């Protein structure tokens, strides 16, 4: 029999387009439907991890509220840079008359504290040698001076040759932070494995059992018996005839499997741990099933408040330096969803302000006192 997807003629060889078969759902290697050819058992975990990654990015990007940013920048863009790169640099480009917030690299030397003296901006998805970015070509990039304190008009720095760095969280010995997307990836990987395990436990506790048989005929008898039990239960028949002389052996484990609820509690503990890394409120690693007292909730929060305050302090300090250089008046606050209180008196504990710099019903500049 001649396969349609292979050239078996004696004429000139011809290379077929394999994408045509893939789009039709056929495996080019076997000629069988892709579903029949088998699938990767880890694909379910991979798909679940994608969903968890989106959720993690949403929590990271929306945990701070930015105000009065210049045209072309908004809070989501800046927080995305911090989430995927760990830090970014804010600077003004005179040739384009525009502000940027981008990843950066060291260009030159460091000071006595190990801080970068000069930096060079990088595209969000590129390197310093990548000249394919239309809006930000190599010809417009230049080395700029880094400011770490309030702007002094008597210094040699000018708004055109200066930049301000912002880190997602406090630095360690190195001057660069590991991005949250990398730090949280192992946690998300473990979380993605819990739901399939919970499903397996749920199936194990469903009453379905494996029966050892010697041949296909005995297997057919077991299948027929299972259908007979189902039909009898649906038709209110307490007794059914079982014809056959074979001896059935139960292959299910004699051990006690975990309940699906325990897997979900494990997933909840992992998610609480993930939220604590951002300083967001959570139920703690061990969250009681019953109602918790307020004192217990405060104890479970642990250092979450300090973690959130660390990120807020870095961002507000960044705003102070930027405002001192360019007089922009940008600011960042904790949103009402994080604080859990109605700060603007509109009767709803939900932030609905614009983040791109449009003035209006925006909160006055404040400090860390607005965060618990």
Q: Answer yes or no: is 223 within a domain.
A: no
DSSP 200: H
Q: Answer yes or no: is 318 within a domain.
A: yes
User: Is 41 exposed, middle or buried, given 0-12, 13-18 or 19+ CB atoms closer than 10 A?
Assistant: exposed
Q: Could you tell me the two tokens for 11?
A: 């004429």
Q: Which residues contact 211 (CB under 8 A, 6 or more apart)?
A: 222, 248, 249, 250, 251
Do 11 and 76 sit in the same domain of this protein? no
Q: What is the pLDDT of residue 365?
A: 41
Do 32 and 119 sit in the same domain of this protein? no
Q: Answer yes or no: is 66 within a domain.
A: yes
> Does residue 310 come out as left (phi exceeding 0), alpha (psi in the -120 to 50 range) or beta?
alpha
Do 71 and 6 sit in the same domain of this protein? no
Do 1 and 128 sit in the same domain of this protein? no
Q: Give the total number of structural domains in the chain.
A: 2
Q: Angle at which helices 75-85 and 43-61 pack, to 10 degrees?
A: 130
Q: What is the pLDDT of residue 91?
A: 94
- The domain containing residue 14 runs over which residues? 1-39
Q: Answer yes or no: is 206 within a domain.
A: no
Do 342 and 302 sit in the same domain of this protein? yes
Q: Answer yes or no: is 215 within a domain.
A: no
Q: Answer yes or no: is 302 within a domain.
A: yes
Q: What is the pLDDT of residue 366?
A: 44
Q: Which residues contact 166 (CB under 8 A, 6 or more apart)?
A: 78, 82, 87, 88, 89, 90, 101, 314, 315, 318
Do 166 and 79 sit in the same domain of this protein? yes
Q: Give 132-139 contacts, CB < 8 A, sequence gap 24+.
A: 135/96, 136/93, 136/96, 136/100, 136/102
**pLDDT tens digits in sequence order for the chain, 372 residues long:** 445 545 555 566 666 676 777 667 676 777 766 554 445 557 888 899 999 999 999 999 999 999 999 999 999 999 999 999 999 999 999 888 999 999 999 988 899 999 999 999 998 886 655 555 555 555 445 678 888 887 666 667 788 889 999 999 999 888 999 999 999 999 999 999 998 888 877 776 766 777 777 777 777 777 777 777 777 766 667 777 766 666 655 555 555 566 778 888 999 999 999 999 999 988 777 665 555 555 555 555 556 788 999 999 999 999 999 999 999 999 999 998 887 765 666 656 566 655 554 544 444 444 444 444
Q: Answer yes or no: is 243 within a domain.
A: no
Q: What is the pLDDT of residue 36?
A: 44
Do 53 and 12 sit in the same domain of this protein? no
Q: Are 178 and 82 in contact (CB under 8 A)?
A: no
Q: What is the pLDDT of residue 361?
A: 47
**Burial 251-280, CB ≥16 within 10 A → b, else e:** eeeeeeeeebeebebbbbbbbbbbbbbbbb
CATH for 356? 2.40.500.10
Do 281 and 297 sit in the same domain of this protein? yes
Do 98 and 171 sit in the same domain of this protein? yes
Q: Are 334 and 371 in contact (CB under 8 A)?
A: yes
Do 14 and 61 sit in the same domain of this protein? no
Q: What is the pLDDT of residue 37?
A: 41
Q: What is the pLDDT of residue 289?
A: 55
Do 164 and 309 sit in the same domain of this protein? yes
Do 7 and 115 sit in the same domain of this protein? no
Q: Answer yes or no: is 4 within a domain.
A: yes
């Amino acid at each position: 029999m001649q396969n349609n997807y292979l050239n078996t003629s004696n004429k000139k060889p011809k290379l077929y387009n394999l994408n045509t078969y893939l789009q039709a759902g056929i495996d080019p290697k076997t000629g069988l439907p892709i579903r029949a050819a088998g699938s990767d058992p880890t694909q379910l975990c991979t798909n679940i991890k994608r969903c968890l990654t989106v959720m993690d990015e949403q929590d990271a990007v929306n945990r701070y509220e930015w105000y009065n940013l210049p045209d072309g920048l908004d809070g989501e863009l800046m927080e995305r840079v911090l989430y995927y790169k760990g830090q970014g640099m804010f600077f003004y480009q005179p040739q384009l008359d525009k502000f940027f917030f981008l990843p950066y690299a060291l260009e030159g030397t460091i000071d006595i504290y190990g801080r970068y003296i000069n930096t060079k901006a990088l595209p969000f998805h590129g390197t310093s040698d990548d000249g394919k970015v239309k809006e930000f070509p190599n010809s417009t990039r230049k080395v700029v001076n880094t400011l770490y304190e309030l702007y002094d008009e008597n210094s040699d720095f000018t708004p055109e040759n200066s930049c301000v760095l912002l880190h997602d969280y406090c630095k360690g010995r190195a001057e660069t932070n590991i991005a949250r997307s990398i730090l949280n990836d192992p946690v998300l990987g473990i979380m993605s494995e819990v739901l399939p395990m919970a499903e397996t436990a749920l199936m194990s506790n469903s009453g379905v059992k494996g029966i050892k048989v010697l041949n296909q005929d005995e297997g057919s008898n077991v299948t027929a018996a299972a259908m007979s039990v189902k039909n009898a239960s649906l038709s209110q028949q307490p007794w059914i005839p079982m014809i056959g002389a074979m001896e059935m052996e139960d292959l299910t484990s004699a051990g006690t499997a975990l309940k699906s609820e325990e897997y979900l509690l494990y997933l909840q503990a992992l998610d609480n741990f993930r939220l604590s890394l951002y300083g967001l409120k959570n139920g703690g690693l061990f969250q009681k099933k019953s109602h918790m007292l307020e004192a217990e909730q405060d104890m479970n929060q642990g250092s979450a408040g300090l973690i959130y305050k660390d990120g807020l302090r870095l961002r507000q300090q960044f705003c102070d330096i930027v405002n001192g250089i360019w007089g922009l008046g940008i600011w960042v606050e904790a949103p009402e969803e994080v604080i859990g209180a109605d700060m603007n008196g509109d009767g709803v504990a939900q932030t609905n302000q614009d983040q791109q710099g449009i003035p209006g019903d925006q909160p006055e500049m404040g400090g860390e006192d607005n965060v618990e």
